[in-house]
Amino acid sequence: MSTSDPSKGATLLGLIAILFWSTSVGVTRSTIEFLGRTGAPAVLFTLSALLLLPTRTSLRDLPRRYLWLGAALFVGYELCFVLALGLARTRHEAIEVGMINYLWPSLTVLFSSIAGRKRLNAVMLAGLALAFAGVITASSPPDGFSPGRFFHNAASNPLCYGLAFIGAIVWALYSTCTKHMAEGRNALWLFMALSAAGFWSVHLLNPERAPMTVSMHVVVQVALASAAVTLAYLLWNIGVLRGNIHVLGLAANGTPLMSALFASLLLDAPLSPIFWGGAAMVAAGSLVAGIGARRST
C-alpha cells in the first residue's frame, strides 16, 4: 500500500462529509416541523453529542483560546443557523434562508485574508459580490429577477434573515480562527454538547414552545438527522486534518447547489429555474473568491 493512501482515504471521507452537509437544511427543517423550532435542535444536538462521546478529548489537552472562543463561535453559529430555519414561515423560505448560510465560504476567504494581512484584490471582492447577488437572485419569484423580493422578505421576517446572515459571519470567523488556535486538537464533542445545552436552555425559556409530536416516524427521522449531522462534522474534521484541503475546498464550493437539491427533495418543495441560477451564483462566488485569495499569496 502506498504512503499516499491514508491521505486519499481522508480526502474521500471529507468529500462524503460534504454530502452530509448538503442535507442539513432539509433534514433540520423537516425535524423542526415535528418537534418545534427549539425542541428539534435540542434533541438533535443531544443525540449528536452522545454519538460523539467516544471521541471526546480531555479539557486539559485543549488550548484555552480554542476552548473558549471556539466554543462561543460554534454554539453561536448553531443557534443562529438552526433558529433561522425554524423561524422561516414556509419550506421555500427555509431553503432561501439556508442559501444565506452558504455565504460563509466567501466570507471565510475575506476574513482569512484580513487575518493574514493580505491585500484584498478585485477578484476576491468580485467573488463575494457574486455570492451576495446569488442570494438575492435565489429569492426572486419564478417569473423573473426581482431584487426587491429579497429585501421585502427580509423586512417582513427580520429575525429569521438576520440570524441567517449573522450565522454565516460567525461560521466564517470560526473557520478562520480555529485553524490557528486548535493546534491540531479536536473539541467537537464538547462544542456539540454545549450546543445541545444552549438549545435546551432556549427551549425551556421559550413560552411559545410547541409540543413535541413523537411517533415511530419521528424517532426514525430524528435518528437519521442526528446521524447525518454527526457524520458531517466528524468526517469533515478527518478530511481537513489528514486529507487534501485543496480538493476539499474545491468540492465544498458546490455545496449550495447540492444543499438546494437535497432540501427540495426532502421537503417536497420544487424550486424555480431562477432559484437554481441564484444557487449557482453563490457557488461560483465562493470559487472566484478562492481564486482571488490564491492570487494574493
Which pLDDT score is estimated for 46?
95
pLDDT of residue 3: 46
The pLDDT profile of the chain, 297 residues, written as one tens digit per residue, is 444 466 788 889 989 988 998 998 998 998 988 888 899 999 999 999 999 998 888 888 888 888 899 899 999 999 999 999 999 999 999 999 999 999 988 898 888 888 878 888 899 999 999 999 999 999 988 888 888 889 999 999 999 999 999 999 999 898 888 777 877 777 889 999 999 999 999 999 988 887 777 788 888 888 888 998 899 888 887 887 777 766 777 788 888 999 999 999 989 999 999 999 999 999 999 899 888 887 765
CB burial class (10 A; 0-12, 13-18, 19+) of residue 277? middle
The reply to whether 237 falls in a domain is yes
How many whole angstroms separate alpha carbon 124 and alpha carbon 285? Answer: 9
CA angle 251, 99, 272 (to 5 degrees): 100
User: Does residue 120 belong to any structural domain of this protein?
Assistant: no
**Domain encompassing residue 27:** 5-101+148-265
Q: Are 107 and 169 in contact (CB under 8 A)?
A: yes
Residue 135 lies in a domain: no
Residue 165 placed within a domain: yes
**Number of compact structural domains in the chain:** 1
The verdict on residue 241 lying in a domain is yes
Size of the chain in residues? 297
Q: What's the grid cell of residue 17?
A: 462529509
Cell 465560504 sits on residue: 105
Q: Please report how the helices 122-138 and 147-156 are oriented relative to each other, as an axis angle in degrees rounded to 10.
A: 70
% helix, strand, coil for the chain, step of 5: 80, 0, 20
> Which grid cell sits at 257?
447547489
Does residue 49 sit within a domain?
yes
- Tell me, yes or no, whether 89 lies in a domain: yes
d(CA 51, CA 16): 18
Output the nine-digit C-alpha cell for 155. 423586512
DSSP H/E element including 242? helix 216-242
Residue 138's pLDDT is what? Answer: 92
pTM equals: 0.89
Residue 92 lies in a domain: yes
Closest CA to 241 of 173, 153, 178: 178
The torsion angle over the Cα atoms of residues 192, 73, 126 and 260, rounded to 10 degrees, is 30
Nearest to 146 by CA among 287, 277, 268: 277
- Give the Cα separation of 30 and 225 in Å (integer): 9
Sign of the CA dihedral 218, 220, 223, 224?
negative
